[in-house]
Structure 1
Amino acid sequence: MKVAVYARHSTDKQEHSTRDQIARCEAHCSRLGYTVTAAFCDEGISGASMQNRPGIRGLIETALDGGFVRIITEDLSRLSRDQGDIAHFYKKLMFLGIGLETIAEGEISELHIGLKGTMNALYLKDLADKTRRGMIAAVLNGAIPGGRTFGYDIVRRMNERGELIPGLRKINQKEAEIVRTVFARYQAGESLRRISAWLNELEVPSPRGSKWQPSAFIGTVARQTGILRNTLYKGLVTFDRMAYRKHPETGKRLSVVRPENEWITVPAPELAIVDEAQFDAIQQLIEERSNRFRQKRLIVQVMTQPEKAERRNEYQRTWRARQIKASKKTREQPLYLTSGKLWCARHDTAFVFRRSRLHGCPEKGCANQNLPHDYLMPLILAELRKFGPDQVDLYYREQETRRNALLQELGQLEPQRKSVQQEIRSLLTTIARLERGPETLAHIQEREKESGRLKLDIDRLKVELDAVTRISDGLSREIIQNFQAAVSRHDADQDTTKLLHGCIDRIYIAPDWNEAEQTMQHRIRITFNVPEMVKSLRNTSIATAA
């Protein structure tokens, strides 16, 4: 019987869990005489939803192709802990005539779907409730929730048991002074845009490490977020403002604001940065400015049609003026054959863009300075036209060492796995004949896990080996012919340029002083991405089109 194996774990701390699950499922299949045709896994993904899980998608696609007749997994919760998802998934399997079996429950029926689906959903809800209760208890005991807040540093301190105490903070005096200045400037009537520009001029990194934006200070009205609204600055921790739910259709995690009377507030006077009276005055000022903004929007609603038309015309005039002054960097640039590929052979560094169609090495005094695009392209095309069987052979000769190493490693792993499987069969025979105890069974499980790990390593090595396997002479000629056809029409369209661009790894520019002519000349050396070239140029019609 052909079967597929599925495994899943929820967090990064369980990094070996899927591998162990697959090994255990394979051992289960081996005992029952099943043939495992494919293994699928989702690592670090919650079981609360089956949406956005690549392993499940691959499992369903293979099932539609008829790749197996049964799915084997450790237990039903590995597929999903959601009642609706697991019921819908089971209905799909029944329609396709595919069975479902777990090591824990055996062959799954409608009864398992109902009972176990309910139990798994209750487990997930109970886990969420316990997590929230634990977080609330930590806040009430003085912990500050969330990550680092601008103006504070995270304190790492151990308790008497040697465990890290979470949620400890202390004031960062340098950042706290910036916070006080921001509050003072806003209270004095300065706009958020000007405050952002001031901080960017001082090169003060924002909380996210990028440039400051007005949204960092004011946040959103619904969520009551932003630096100017953060109650921690007045010495009051506000927690549990948001509730998080998963969308039933997409499985995405969505946030919903809780009613204000459900928020949890805990005094923390030792963390106050601004005066409470000033903080409350700022909140009143935010509300007044927001009202003025809303009034401006209401004015638009009562304007006459001619007034609205004049307003639109004025906006279009100013918009066109901004577009004319906009930096060329913001406009979409066409892809050139040399884009991101030019490399200084003398300093082993990438070329930089000087100005329109002018490139050069960033090192001062280098002879590869200010090289025009029109000067480089004939040299590059001449070098590209030299590409032929010798370059393909050179690439695979260089890969021969890697290929031999992979074959040697495979030659060591495959006998090891056969030896482990033979040992497992011998132990099973011993159990059947002598009825050994649980120690033997535990040893068998360990050897089964080792066999599964060896199989995964062997499969990985075979994938790497396929990438360095030499192609046939016929395919090599086809690749070279299509490549040269693409070179001959490199500037015909962007599709051809993109195709050639992916085939090139780097274009090295080497300055060469010609003593006889007393001139600086440049030599070109190109390294190619042969695997990408084989992938993109096989079975194409470039040669015919040329």
Structure 2
Amino acid sequence: MRVAIYARHSTDKQEHSTRDQIARCEAFCRRVGYEIAATFSDEGISGAAMQNRPGIRKLIEAALDGEFNRIISEDLSRISRDQGDLAHFYKKLLFLNINLETIAEGDVSELHIGLKGTMNALYLKDLADKTKRGMLAAVLNGSIPGGRTFGYDIVHRLNERGEPIPGLRKINPVEAEIVRTIFTRYDQGETLLRICEHLNDNGVAAPKGGTKWQKSALIGTFARQTGILRNTLYKGVLTFDKMAYRKHPETGKRVSMIRPEHDWIRVPAPELAILSEDQFDSVQRHIEERSNNFRQRRLIVQVMTGEEKAKRQRGYVRKWRARQKTANKVPEQPFYITSGKLWCSKHDAAFIHRRAKLNGCPHKGCPNQNLPLEYILPLVLEDVQKFSAGDLDAYYQENKSRRAFLESKLQSLISERSRVQSEIRALLETIVRSQRGPETLSHIQEREKESGRLKLDIEQAKSELENITAVPDADMKMIARRVQETINKWLASDLDSTKVLHDCVYKISIIPFWNDAEQSMQHRAKVAWDMPALIRAFSVAANKIAA
């Protein structure tokens, strides 16, 4: 007799694990002389449904393949506690002519399926009732069900037996102040969008690790009464058991369903109140009023005729045009010398904008992350003020060899172009004298293209040479003086000066370093000037800048 063993347990705390069940079934098979063909198990899975259990599915597949002709289990509850699933499973075994035997019941028949299936179903119902009673008792003893709620911290404490006490909470003062701000602003008539913008602009971290505050975090859903503005715990009343979970008869998956509001359980928790009851109730009235207004607007649109809708739309367009005529222009975004110029020296990468006035390196773990603009600007100012005529002289000295190379290259290009142009003139004279054919004309066209390329190379070399050709010392000092004057205007918040300096900066490297004296990570800025742009701005247009 070839048999298959099946074992299952729901939780790690259950008295008999699958290993114990399998060992007991193996001993039973040896005692009665069964040959074990295969062993199947499901660990940590409820017996309320069979669809989500891979072990039982593999058992059925093996049965269809005829690998065994009897199934051994500890008792019928290991197969399933659901009456319908158990009966359906037994029908399959009857069709395949496979017997089901358990150590507790022996050979299973229709009588066992009916009686034990009913007993197991009653056990599940009784277990659900006890679980609910246990949750209510825990709440009455001060435990809060569910995960962490914004505004509260989880308290880790042990009981007299050294076991952790679940569900203890205490008020988080920082988050509690944010909750009060949200309720106060909404009570004063601010929209959800404006409240979210206020929180994001002030760098307030969103709940549950989100990057930005969203309206759904504040208002939640009406049916489930979720969201910060609807959470009764903030007024000192814990509301739970809003949802009922039932097994779908077709898929076996657990489906959430909303209980009627009169079945919700409410328990006073005054020690966790963040708001007064009057303020909370006032906000709930405002939510209801706004919701009613929204529903009325939707209903009006549904019953309007086509002509009324067109008239309404024309009114919207007229109002929009009137606002465009009288509305003030949107103020320009602040412009800084650092805009688009910040660079991480450690990873050789451009800074990215994270949120309001916060910039940083895109690489995780870099000490150049999340640096406030108010912190960066003084570092940049310190390095900008070091600019002097010596920087210009150093720039010219660094490019001395490059200048010599360009001068030599320029002379060579000029000579080469003269030679090509002489060759073109000679070819033209040859055509006039001998009236040569198309080959000569094609040769002339190639020489003209070469002459054009040489002319372009000459212009590029002249332009680069002009940028690195040293100016007299007096001019360098004049340029340095005008740069300092522009820096002083920049400090006085002069927008034109800021733009001029911004155009003269190639990049601003932020260099992190460890300060042993203060035992902290600090930064310094190194401004890389775009010297050609700076020389053009402060020599050609110097009079305009200084004025």
Match of 1:114 in 2: 114
The answer on 1:265 being equivalent to 2:280 is no
The answer on 1:159 being equivalent to 2:185 is no
State how far apart, in whole Å, the 1-side matches of 2:162 and 2:190 are.
48
Alignment of 1:54-453 (within 5 A): 54-211=54-211, 212-305=213-306
Letter in 1 for 2:147: G
State how far apart, in whole Å, the 2-side matches of 1:42 and 1:309 are.
64
Offset of residue 166 of structure 1: 2.9
* 52-61 vs 236-245, greater mean Cα deviation: 236-245
Offset of residue 363 of structure 1: 11
Q: 1:250 to 1:205 in 2, by over 3 A?
A: farther
Letter in 1 for 2:251: T
Whether the 8 Å CA contact 1:139–1:266 is kept in 2: the answer is: yes
Letter in 2 for 1:263: W
Letter in 1 for 2:40: F
Whether the 8 Å CA contact 1:15–1:43 is kept in 2: the answer is: no
Match of 1:482 in 2: none
State how far apart, in whole Å, the 2-side matches of 1:306 and 1:101 are.
76
State how far apart, in whole Å, the 2-side matches of 1:16 and 1:197 are.
55
Q: 1:182 to 1:99 in 2, by over 3 A?
A: same
State how far apart, in whole Å, the 2-side matches of 1:68 and 1:309 are.
75
Q: In structure 1, the residue corresponding to 2:222 is in which secondary structure?
A: coil
Letter in 1 for 2:114: G
Offset of residue 198 of structure 1: 3.8
Q: 1:38 to 1:201 in 2, by over 3 A?
A: farther
Q: 1:224 to 1:113 in 2, by over 3 A?
A: same
State how far apart, in whole Å, the 1-side matches of 2:68 and 2:312 are.
65
Match of 1:45 in 2: 45
Letter in 2 for 1:21: Q
Match of 1:505 in 2: none
Q: In structure 1, the residue corresponding to 2:252 is in which secondary structure?
A: coil
Letter in 2 for 1:34: Y
Offset of residue 15 of structure 1: 11
State how far apart, in whole Å, the 2-side matches of 1:15 and 1:160 are.
24
State how far apart, in whole Å, the 1-side matches of 2:103 and 2:113 are.
15
Offset of residue 221 of structure 1: 1.1
Q: 1:15 to 1:153 in 2, by over 3 A?
A: farther
Letter in 2 for 1:278: Q
State how far apart, in whole Å, the 1-side matches of 2:282 and 2:240 are.
22
Offset of residue 268 of structure 1: 1.8
CA deviation vs aligned residue, 1:326-367 (integer Å, no higher than 9, x gap)? xxxxxxxxxxxxxxxxxxxxx9x9x99x9xxxxxx9799xxx
Match of 1:36 in 2: 36
Match of 1:441 in 2: none
Q: In structure 1, the residue corresponding to 2:246 is in which secondary structure?
A: strand
Whether the 8 Å CA contact 1:11–1:45 is kept in 2: the answer is: yes
Offset of residue 160 of structure 1: 3.1
Q: In structure 2, the residue corresponding to 1:176 is in which secondary structure?
A: helix
Offset of residue 51 of structure 1: 2.0
State how far apart, in whole Å, the 2-side matches of 1:201 and 1:42 are.
51
State how far apart, in whole Å, the 2-side matches of 1:73 and 1:203 are.
59
Offset of residue 163 of structure 1: 3.4
Letter in 2 for 1:250: T
Q: In structure 2, the residue corresponding to 1:261 is in which secondary structure?
A: helix
Whether the 8 Å CA contact 1:218–1:227 is kept in 2: the answer is: yes
- Which structure would you say has the larger RCO, counting Cα contacts within 8 Å and 6 or more residues apart? 1
Q: 1:218 to 1:30 in 2, by over 3 A?
A: same
Q: In structure 2, the residue corresponding to 1:266 is in which secondary structure?
A: strand
Match of 1:19 in 2: 19
State how far apart, in whole Å, the 2-side matches of 1:132 and 1:311 are.
54
State how far apart, in whole Å, the 1-side matches of 2:204 and 2:106 are.
60
5+ residue gaps in structure 2?
A: 317-345, 353-361, 366-547
Letter in 2 for 1:256: M
Letter in 1 for 2:232: T
Rg comparison, structure with higher value = 2
Q: In structure 2, the residue corresponding to 1:170 is in which secondary structure?
A: strand
State how far apart, in whole Å, the 1-side matches of 2:117 and 2:173 are.
53
Letter in 1 for 2:84: G
Letter in 2 for 1:113: I
Offset of residue 265 of structure 1: 2.2
State how far apart, in whole Å, the 2-side matches of 1:159 and 1:38 are.
45
Match of 1:4 in 2: 4
Q: In structure 2, the residue corresponding to 1:36 is in which secondary structure?
A: strand
The number of residues matched between the two structures is 322
Letter in 2 for 1:245: R
State how far apart, in whole Å, the 1-side matches of 2:42 and 2:10 are.
8
State how far apart, in whole Å, the 2-side matches of 1:45 and 1:363 are.
39
Offset of residue 16 of structure 1: 8.2
Q: 1:168 to 1:296 in 2, by over 3 A?
A: same
Offset of residue 172 of structure 1: 0.5
* 189-198 vs 213-222, greater mean Cα deviation: 189-198
Offset of residue 109 of structure 1: 0.8
Q: In structure 2, the residue corresponding to 1:38 is in which secondary structure?
A: strand
Letter in 2 for 1:265: R
Letter in 1 for 2:80: S
Q: In structure 2, the residue corresponding to 1:50 is in which secondary structure?
A: coil
Q: In structure 1, the residue corresponding to 2:183 is in which secondary structure?
A: helix
Offset of residue 279 of structure 1: 0.5
Letter in 2 for 1:195: I
Q: 1:15 to 1:44 in 2, by over 3 A?
A: farther
TM-score where L is the length of structure 1:
0.54
Q: 1:64 to 1:272 in 2, by over 3 A?
A: same
Match of 2:433 in 1: none
